[in-house]
Structure 1
Amino acid sequence: MLMIKSNDGAKIAVYDLGPKNCSKIIVLVHGWPLSHKMFEYQLPALLHAGYRVVSLDLRGFGNSDETAGGYCYDRFADDLFTVIRTLGLRRFVLLGFSMGGAIAVRYMARHRGYGVTKLCLVDAAAPSYCKTPDNPYGNSVDDTNKLIQLGCQDRPALNEYFGSIFFAQEHSKPFLNWLQGVNNSASGLGEMQSLIALRDEDVYDDLRTIRVPTGIFHGKQDMICPFGMAEIMHAQIRGSRLFPFDKAGHGAFYDDLEQFNCTLVGFLENRK
């Protein structure tokens, strides 16, 4: 683990695995309220395919600093840019899951896609988490406010609720307990202020700035970011490819683990 200082002094935890002279690089951005650990079951497949895998904990999550503020998409995108510049990454794939997908989209607009050769959006919270005139499939602001209120009073209960709607398939209790532990490891400030960002932020206009090959990977049973959002992203990102997972929920990366990993590596390697 590396600790890289962002431009406001916050220390961002970074995990850099694989040969440093590798020409194939992928950068992974986790979702809310997870950490880099969510990609545990993608890591072996990516390393086996010959990738250098760089992941990070967003500020306020995992091992990164909890800060008093700064939990907005612009700040997260700037943190990501600092990590990329510090590591000297110039040609890489950028993958974002859920809120991390929205942050990846903001990075593409705010930093003109610096270094990105391909983009992967996995059950992304884009174009917005909540309903807008451009996104009729999002969650309601009122329901999100209720989640914010619950989290401010009983954050583990909020995480348990999200865990209950995260998957469309049955998974073992030990696995679900592990995932709950990852969620609970987030800082209170980071988790709750990021949920406010999810409620308020919109990357619809940013989608049109994307000019790299883009794969959209989305569970058709997603109850957190409904599949209609994937169709909007597909329509707005020129030349994008949509990979639906018919029996998967928000956690398509685990609901359909083998097929997801196969499809992802195939897209990276131009096999599909």
Structure 2
Amino acid sequence: MGYYLRVEPDVNIYVEDVNRESEKTILFIHGWPVNHKLFEYQFNHLPSLGYRCIGMDLRGFGNSDKPSSGYSYDRLADDVRTVVDELYLQNFTLVGHSVGGAISVRYMARHNGYGVSKLALIAAAAPSLTIRPDFPQGIPKEAVTNIIQNTYIDRPKMLQDFEGQFFFQHTTQPFSQWFLQMGLQAAGWSTAAVATSFRDESLFSDLRQIQVPTIILHGVHDKVCLYPLAVAQNKEIKNSKLVPFENSGHGLMWEEREKLNQELIKFIG
């Protein structure tokens, strides 16, 4: 079922909650520029195996409200905390993809991993999506700046071009339209604002504060969050395991969905 939760007086977050009676809870945090529907191929399968699957649309994306501000990692992590509190979640697995992985990492550090028993990072944008003087493994900041600029010039074309970087495997035209429509559900300003956050923010110290068992799932052909980011995550997070996806780019929840689902099942138990 779907419903809204208030995270600020004038901001409501949309939540899709499947199999609510189960005690095995997974909270999914989607990446940029889409929404919780990107986890469709997990929601299709995991609830039938006894898992409660909760997908929240980040503010500015999907069915959630789209305020003009509030797109820093801190604020987005605080939104996650409010959802956790409102749903009384305890002993749950937090799953974050791309910038959703970055927000999950910030949640673990900023809120001391409240309620989280296990963490799964899928193609996560951590510790830094972009190149820094002490971290050459990211993509150039200029590439993200171009995305931000093109968001304000021709957002549909920007999204269409981004899909070409997102997936390693071939996508059909209907699938491309589905991906495009998810991106268009967001507001232009929130699309640009979150891109600004993942261009400029970093999570080096946050990674070292994670104390729960962590699995890192990452496509070796990822052109968005390059594979060396996963290696850095594995190095910094205690009690973490890195699982490479040899036939995936950034969209491994679709490209190798059966493997990803099995890895999550094995990890969560």
TM range (shorter): over 0.9
1:57-96, aligned counterparts within 5 Å? 57-96=57-96
**Deviations 1:26-56 (Å, cap 9, x if unpaired)?**
0000000110110111112211221111110
Deviation, 1:134, is: 4.3
* TM, length-normalised to structure 1: 0.96
Question: Which amino acid is the alignment partner of residue 19 of structure 1?
Answer: R
Q: Which residue in the other structure is 2:236 paired with?
A: 236
Residue 7 of structure 1 aligns with which residue? 8
Counterpart of 1:206 in structure 2: which amino acid? D
Matches within 5 A, 1:166-245: 166-245=166-245
Q: Which amino acid aligns with 1:237?
A: I
Q: TM-score, normalised by structure 2?
A: 0.97
Counterpart secondary structure, 2:104: helix
Q: Which amino acid aligns with 2:117?
A: T
Q: Which moved more, 1:187-196 or 1:251-260?
A: 251-260
Structure 1 residue 184 displacement after superposition: 1.3
Verify the 8 A CA contact 1:131 1:140 in the aligned structure 2.
Answer: yes
Rounded Cα–Cα distance in structure 2 between residues aligned with 1:134 and 1:43: 39
- Tell me, in whole angstroms, the C-alpha distance in 2 between the residues paired with 1:137 and 1:212: 25
Task: Please tell me the residue identity of whatever aligns with 2:206.
Answer: D
SS of the residue 1:168 aligns to: coil
5 Å-filtered alignment, 1:243-258, equals 243-258=243-258
120-129 vs 1-10, which moves further = 1-10
1:6 match: secondary structure: strand
Match of 2:135 in 1: 135
- 1:64 aligned counterpart, secondary structure: coil
Instruction: Tell me the alpha carbon deviations over residues 113-154 of structure 1, each in whole angstroms, 9 at most, x when there is no partner.
Output: 000000000000111111124432211112221121111111
Aligned identity (percent) is 42
* Letter aligned with residue 251 of structure 1: G
CA deviations 1:87-118 (Å, max 9, x no partner) are 11111000000000000000000000000000
- Give the whole-Å Cα distance in 2 for the aligned partners of 1:45 and 1:135: 38
248-257 or 231-240, which deviates more: 248-257
Inter-partner Cα distance in structure 2 for 1:173 and 1:204: 38
Whole-angstrom distance in 1 between the partners of 2:10 and 2:113: 23
The one-letter amino acid of 2:14's match is A
- Partners of 2:17 and 2:42 in 1: CA distance: 14
Task: Give the superposed CA RMSD.
Answer: 1.1
SS in 1 for 2:149: helix
Question: After TM superposition, which residue ranges in structure 1, 4 or more long, deviate above 3 angstroms?
Answer: none
